[in-house]
């Protein structure tokens, strides 16, 4: 019985051999002779650009796999995605925070790229160019970034959503500098793993969606791509996860169907209940005040609620330097929007700002460069709209939180 168990164990192990040739270079050899070379990169590293080119020359793959989805690849090639954006449509569809997240990611990568003299994702675009020049077939193996962002948001609880928003804001306005040496250090397996562990502790749902699910998606896409000698250009943080996933795919422990991680889960009932709980509580508190303490006290409570709600919204509008008329409209709209979860004050202020100060062609053309500085977010009209949207949304949210203990104190 022991010999049978040992034989079965060994038969599974030899299905795939993983060779670690360096921190950024792994070669996987499968039982049928197929080979997959994984080249881990830092997406804003000049050294990564040179490494990818050198590995393609030395490995001579018959197929190249890239860590990009169709949308991002097209945007990077054409560099015109922002100019085709309808900012009003984005806000009306409730995708304001999603756009801010996209801009935060783009600005952070752009800032690091400027510091290291390498455009974000240049090593992947370089691999694509080489593939085209040499007639090597290539595949875009990553999941759509919009699906990734939406899943991260939907699967996060309220506290983690707050931490995610704080992380996004800090990324937008951060002045952190990173050297080439720091980037190379990040490609080392032990350093990267410690960062993954930290993310899993702080933002578990985000880590699951951004790392674990994408590891599985990338590994499956690369595994199923045609070719007997493939080379995959991926972020260094995905290497270990991809190798582990491929071991499971090869042994049959994991299936290649990805439907469960390519759908955006619908909003949960808890979120709907929570979104309506505030309006119901506010109306309940005010009604209780009128019924139990009389008209004068009820009006006083109503006045406190209006004052707090409108004041914090005004603070957000003023800090974001919204158009004066927009500031006035936002202040007057704040109480109404706070009682209707389907219409956020950020949507109202963003649309108003876009109407009063319409973005110009140059704003779209300079979007990437302006997004890396705080001054650029005020100067660029597209970014300024998003800033107004963000600050008024936060102002109103803080006001809603502050007013509760005040109303409770008045009722006691």
d(CA 393, CA 100): 13
Mean pLDDT for 265-294 is: 76
Asked whether residue 120 carries a pLDDT value surpassing 70, the answer given is no
Of 186 and 152, more confident? 152
Q: Would you say 338 and 276 are in contact if contact means Cβ atoms under 8 Å apart?
A: no
Q: Considering only 71-75, 197-201, 232-236, 338-342, which range has the smallest mean pLDDT?
A: 197-201
Confidence of residue 199 (pLDDT cuts 50, 70, 90): low
Mean pLDDT for 160-176 is: 69
Interacting residues of 206 by C-beta distance below 8 A, sequence separation 6+: 152, 156, 160, 164, 199
Of 324 and 12, more confident? 324
- What is the residue-averaged pLDDT of the chain? 79
Mean pLDDT for 82-111 is: 74
Of 211 and 222, more confident? 222
Asked whether residue 267 carries a pLDDT value surpassing 50, the answer given is yes
Mean pLDDT for 207-230 is: 91
Mean pLDDT for 329-333 is: 92
Confidence of residue 232 (pLDDT cuts 50, 70, 90): very high
Asked whether residue 291 carries a pLDDT value surpassing 80, the answer given is yes
Q: What percent of the chain has pLDDT over 90?
A: 25
Query: How do residues 18-67 score in pLDDT, each as one tens digit?
Result: 766 677 788 999 888 899 999 888 755 667 777 888 888 888 999 999 99
Q: Give the pLDDT score at 51.
A: 82
Q: Give the pLDDT score at 287.
A: 83
Confidence of residue 218 (pLDDT cuts 50, 70, 90): very high
**DSSP structural state of residue 209:** I
Of 296 and 137, more confident? 137
Q: How many residues does the chain have?
A: 412
When mean pLDDT is compared over 13-22, 86-95, 305-314, the highest value belongs to: 305-314
Q: Is the dihedral of CA 151, 155, 157, 160 positive or negative?
A: negative
Of 186 and 112, more confident? 112
Q: Which of 88, 75, 231 is nearest to 145 (CA)?
A: 75
Q: Considering only 65-69, 173-177, 260-264, 295-299, which range has the smallest mean pLDDT?
A: 173-177
Q: Give the pLDDT score at 136.
A: 92
Mean pLDDT for 116-129 is: 75
Asked whether residue 254 carries a pLDDT value surpassing 80, the answer given is yes
Q: Give the pLDDT score at 364.
A: 81
Mean pLDDT for 338-353 is: 86
Q: Would you say 252 and 31 are in contact if contact means Cβ atoms under 8 Å apart?
A: no
The dihedral region occupied by 357, where left means phi > 0, alpha psi between -120 and 50, and beta the remainder, is beta
Confidence of residue 325 (pLDDT cuts 50, 70, 90): very high
Confidence of residue 7 (pLDDT cuts 50, 70, 90): very low
Interacting residues of 57 by C-beta distance below 8 A, sequence separation 6+: none
**DSSP structural state of residue 84:** G
Q: Would you say 317 and 331 are in contact if contact means Cβ atoms under 8 Å apart?
A: yes
Q: Give the pLDDT score at 31.
A: 86
Mean pLDDT for 2-7 is: 41
Q: Considering only 84-98, 104-118, 122-136, 386-400, which range has the smallest mean pLDDT?
A: 104-118
Confidence of residue 174 (pLDDT cuts 50, 70, 90): low
pTM here is 0.73
Asked whether residue 189 carries a pLDDT value surpassing 60, the answer given is no
Mean pLDDT for 155-161 is: 75
Query: How do residues 396-411 score in pLDDT, each as one tens digit?
Result: 888 888 887 777 777 7
DSSP 345-407: HHHHHHHHHHHHSPPPHHHHHTHHHHTTSHHHHHHSHHHHHHHHHHHHHHHHHHHHHHHHHHH
């Amino acid at each position: 019985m022991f010999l049978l168990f040992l034989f079965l164990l060994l038969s599974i192990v030899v299905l795939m051999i993983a060779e670690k040739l360096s921190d950024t270079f792994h070669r996987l050899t499968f039982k049928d002779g197929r080979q997959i070379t994984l080249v881990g990169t830092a997406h804003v590293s000049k050294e990564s650009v040179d490494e990818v080119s050198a590995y393609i020359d030395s490995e001579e793959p018959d197929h190249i796999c890239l860590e990009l989805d169709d949308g991002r690849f097209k945007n990077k090639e054409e560099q015109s995605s922002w100019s085709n954006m309808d900012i009003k449509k984005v806000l009306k569809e409730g995708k304001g925070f999603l756009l801010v997240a996209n801009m935060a990611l783009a600005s952070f990568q752009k800032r690091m790229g400027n510091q290291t003299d390498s455009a974000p994702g240049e090593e992947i675009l370089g691999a694509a160019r080489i593939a085209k020049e040499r007639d090597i077939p290539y595949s875009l193996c990553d999941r759509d970034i919009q699906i990734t962002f939406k899943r991260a948001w939907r699967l996060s609880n309220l506290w983690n959503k707050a931490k995610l928003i704080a992380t996004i804001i800090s990324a937008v306005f951060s002045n952190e500098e990173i050297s080439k040496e720091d980037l190379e250090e990040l490609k080392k397996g032990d350093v990267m793993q410690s960062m993954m562990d930290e993310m899993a502790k702080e933002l578990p749902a985000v880590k699951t969606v951004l790392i674990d699910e994408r590891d599985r998606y990338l590994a499956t896409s690369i595994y199923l791509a045609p070719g007997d000698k493939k080379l995959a250009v991926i972020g260094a943080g995905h290497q270990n996860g991809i190798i582990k996933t491929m071991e499971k795919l090869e042994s049959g422990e994991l299936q290649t169907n990805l439907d469960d991680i390519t759908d955006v889960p619908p909003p949960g009932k808890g979120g709907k209940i929570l979104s309506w709980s505030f309006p119901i509580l506010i109306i309940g508190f005010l009604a209780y005040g009128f019924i139990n303490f009389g008209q004068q006290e009820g009006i006083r409570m109503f006045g406190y609620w209006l004052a707090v709600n409108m004041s914090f919204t005004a603070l957000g509008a003023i800090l974001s330097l919204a158009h004066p008329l927009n500031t006035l409209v936002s202040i007057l709209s704040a109480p109404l929007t706070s009682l209707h979860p389907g219409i956020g004050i950020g949507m109202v202020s963003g649309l108003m700002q876009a109407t009063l100060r319409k973005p110009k062609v140059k704003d779209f053309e300079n979007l990437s460069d302006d997004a890396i500085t705080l001054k650029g977010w005020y100067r660029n009209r597209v970014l300024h709209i998003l800033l107004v949207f963000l600050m008024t949304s936060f102002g109103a949210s803080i006001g809603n939180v502050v007013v509760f203990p005040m109303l409770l104190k008045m009722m006691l």
